[in-house]
Each structure stands twice: as C-alpha cells, then as structure tokens.
Structure 1
C-alpha cells in the first residue's frame, strides 16, 4: 500500500498526540516485539514505535525490518520514533481521497 502526500499529512496530524505503544528493549527486534507491533497495528491502525539506539544505521535497518515484517507503511520518522500505518479489515481511520 502506498500513501499519497495528502494522506500522509493527515496521518501525521492524527499521530501527533499519540504516545509510543511499543518500545524495543535491550534484546532488540525479537519475535515477541514484532507480535506486539502486529497486534497493535491490527487494533489501532496507526501507532508509534520507539527504538532507543544511537547508531543511525542500525536504527534505519530496524525501522526497515519493522515496516517489511509488519506489512505496514512508514508515515514518519522523528528521532527514535517511527509512525506506522496499516489499514485493518474494518478501517477505523478514514483517509482523504488522493
């Protein structure tokens, strides 16, 4: 799924007040963390995930892996936080038309 610029702007606005639902720990990106991300996306559609690492390249790789494994769309990255969107079977968030 790809989002238009208008749709991403809409989602960024909705995500502004959200707190990170999932935060990676010392073990990094584990199957348990991915299961939590998947569950959160199924329930909320739009979530924030915090990856507390100072290594830029490692953070980029983790973000890419999360997007790929969760079949979600990266809406925005700010510092250690990535905003993800994945439409559920019964959409809760109505996206603007393209």
Structure 2
C-alpha cells in the first residue's frame, strides 16, 4: 500500500510514544512470527518491532521479509526499530486507518 508523506508523518507521530511489542532475536524470522505480527496489526493497526542485539539481521532484511510475504507497510525504520501499519479487516478496529485515509 502506498502512503503519502503526510500520512506517514501522522503514523510516525502516532507511534512516537508506543513501545515495541514484537522482537527479532537470534532465531530470526519465520512465517509463524509474521502471522502473529499480522494478527496484532489486525487489532491495533500500528505497532513497533525491535531488533535485539543478538540478531544477525538488519532492519532492511526484516523490512524486505515483511513486504515480500504480506501486505503490511513499513512506515519508519529508526535504528533497530520498525514501525508497521496495516488497516484492520474488522470495521470496529479501524479508528486509526480512517483518520489516515482522510488525510
């Protein structure tokens, strides 16, 4: 999904005070991990992922894995943190995406 600069800026501002809820460690990435991330995004729409010090992956590796295997949008890469966005399939959880798409 393509987002405009204003939409990305709004999402980055919304994620500013959030804490990462998923981590990537020495075990790396898997389809099961990605399914759990997508489930969390379905209820929250915006999450942060943190890369631990013991991982051999970079943020670019994680971004490529996520974008190739799902329709999740990486909004921001900052240090070892990624901010992810995906509109919820459930209409009752679409508060953030309705604001983003109105921009």
Q: TM-score normalized by structure 2?
A: 0.82
Tell me the CA shift for residue 36 of structure 1: 1.6
TM-aligned CA deviation for residue 74 of structure 1? 1.1
Question: Aligned partners of 2:86, 2:3: CA distance in 1, in Å?
Answer: 11
Q: Which residue of 2 aligns with 1:26?
A: 26
What is the number of residues matched between the two proteins? 97
Residues 55 and 23 (structure 1), Cα distance of their counterparts in 2 relative to 1, 3 Å cut:
closer
The answer on whether the counterparts of 1:24 and 1:33 sit within 8 Å (CA) in structure 2 is no
Q: 2:100 aligns with which of 90, 95, 98?
A: 95
- Alignment map for 1:33-72 (pairs within 5 Å): 33-53=33-53, 58-59=57-58, 60-72=60-72
Matches within 5 A, 1:76-87: 76-87=76-87
Q: C-alpha root-mean-square deviation of aligned residues, in Å?
A: 2.1
Q: Which sections of structure 2, spanning at least 5 residues, go unmatched?
A: none
TM-score when normalising by structure 1: 0.85
Is contact 2:25-2:53 (8 Å) kept?
A: no
